[in-house]
Amino acid sequence: MFNFLIVRVLESNSFTLPNTIIYGDVELRPASVDSDKELTALKESADDHRLQFDKYTYAARICTIVSSETVLEALSIAADRFSTILDLSASKFHISNVDVSEIGFAKNLASGELHPVKRWGFNPSTSFVMSHGNIQRMDDINYILGLDCELSQRYLRALHWARHGRHENNSQLKILFNWFTLEALLKEGESDNISSNICFLMGFPNNKKRLEISEPFLASISDHPRYDFWKKKLIEDVDKIRIFRNNSAHSGFRIVDFSKPVLALYSQIMIYGTSRSLGAVRFALLNNVKTLVEFKENIANIFENTARANDIHGNIIYSLDQVLLNGNDSYL
């Protein structure tokens, strides 16, 4: 384990400070206390995020010391600590955007080495569309826009939430946006529990419609040593996500009220649940299905035409297993 000093610069339109303020294990300090080396690291971080550091010159810094194995883990732990202090500070500075910027650094207190916070992982990328001539072709977007039915309206509402969730960095919000997507897509009324339909479309059919799927196809998707484990666990976890949604929306639970392994698992489940459900509804719309009731009546046939055993085994089961392994989950 290493001790890291985590320093993040607040947004340029947040607030400045004349001196340092300490709240438990979190410190808010003025920009004037940055050392030359720290200032260099902050500028490097800003450059990597393509931000103009001059705009953040006077913004306050928020800091904490974290014990962890890696810089990324330390940054994640620090973000949780910062959250409560930022929430409280926002109640004082109503006209300000009280939040952390992308700029910051982690300092190894044993070696003194500074690690500027840089972009990591995958980022959105430009898509390049090839020319097919000057005459616009009729595509599926034109077709869906031309529909005027219940299922197409549900699909359009669901796409709105899916787009907001796709690149959301806050894991709690990402899970919620994806759950809103699925509710817009599959929920008929307040008492409708959509958990079984989500699991069905992810590749784990578990209701009476399962009997309408051909035996060879059922055999192919269940031919995996971890299939039965996930078939049982998934329905439990999707229902827990429903409770998670209610706790977040109605009881005000925050990201710090949930463990990181739980958030990681819920997020991965929602990514697959959302994408596979949207794909199934899109297929249904392109095949003249008009209502949610009709979609659910034909869910077995739609599933058999859209699901692939290789996808269920090589993507869904594999990814969910990796999340459990990385979180040292007790279920394994």
pTM above 0.75, yes or no: yes
CA distances from 173 to 168, 186, 263 (A): 7, 20, 10
Structure tokens at 234: 């998934």
Residue 332 confidence (pLDDT): 42
Structure tokens at 35: 């050392």
Residue 141 confidence (pLDDT): 82
Please list, residue by residue across 294-329, b when 16 or more beta carbons sit within 10 angstroms of its beta carbon and e when fewer do. Answer: ebbebbbebbeebbebebbbeebbeebeebbeebee
Q: Contact, 183 vs 194, CB < 8 A?
A: yes
The predicted model gives 207-211 an average pLDDT of 91
Chain centre to alpha carbon of residue 295: 27
**Averaging pLDDT over each range in 125-129, 165-169, 273-277, which range is the top one?**
273-277
191: pLDDT strictly greater than 70: yes
On average, the pLDDT of the chain sits at 91
How far is Cα 173 from Cα 284, in angstroms, rounded to an integer? 28
Q: Contact, 212 vs 315, CB < 8 A?
A: no
- Where is average pLDDT lowest: 59-63, 243-247, 272-276? 243-247
Residue 123 confidence (pLDDT): 67
How far is Cα 63 from Cα 22, in angstroms, rounded to an integer? 9
CA neighbor of 317 nearest in space, from 184, 239, 228: 228
How far is Cα 73 from Cα 81, in angstroms, rounded to an integer? 13
Higher-scoring residue by pLDDT: 184, 128: 184
The predicted model gives 201-216 an average pLDDT of 94
pLDDT band for position 121 (50/70/90)? low
The predicted model gives 87-94 an average pLDDT of 88
Residue 166 confidence (pLDDT): 83
Express each pLDDT in 29-52 by its tens digit. Answer: 999 999 999 999 999 999 999 999
The predicted model gives 133-161 an average pLDDT of 88
- pLDDT > 90 fraction of the chain, expressed in percent and rounded: 73
179: pLDDT strictly greater than 50: yes
The predicted model gives 147-156 an average pLDDT of 94
CA neighbor of 83 nearest in space, from 258, 262, 245, 240: 258
CA distances from 151 to 133, 154, 194, 277 (A): 32, 5, 16, 13
Cα angle 101-253-323, degrees, rounded to a multiple of 5: 75
- CB atoms closer than 10 angstroms to residue 151: 20
251: pLDDT strictly greater than 90: no
The predicted model gives 180-205 an average pLDDT of 94
How far is Cα 225 from Cα 19, in angstroms, rounded to an integer? 59
Residue 229: in which H helix or E strand, if any?
Answer: helix 227-250
331: pLDDT strictly greater than 50: no
Express each pLDDT in 237-247 by its tens digit. Answer: 999 999 999 88
Residue 4 confidence (pLDDT): 97
Pairing of strands 61-68, 114-116: unpaired
285: pLDDT strictly greater than 90: yes
296: pLDDT strictly greater than 80: yes
CA distances from 31 to 16, 36, 74, 185, 270 (A): 8, 12, 22, 48, 40
Please report the beta strands in 69-144, taking only residues with DSSP state E, as ranges in sequence order. Answer: 100-108, 114-116
User: DSSP letters along 250-301, please?
Assistant: HS---GGGS-HHHHHHHHHHHHHHHHHHHHHHHHHHHTT--SHHHHHHTHHH
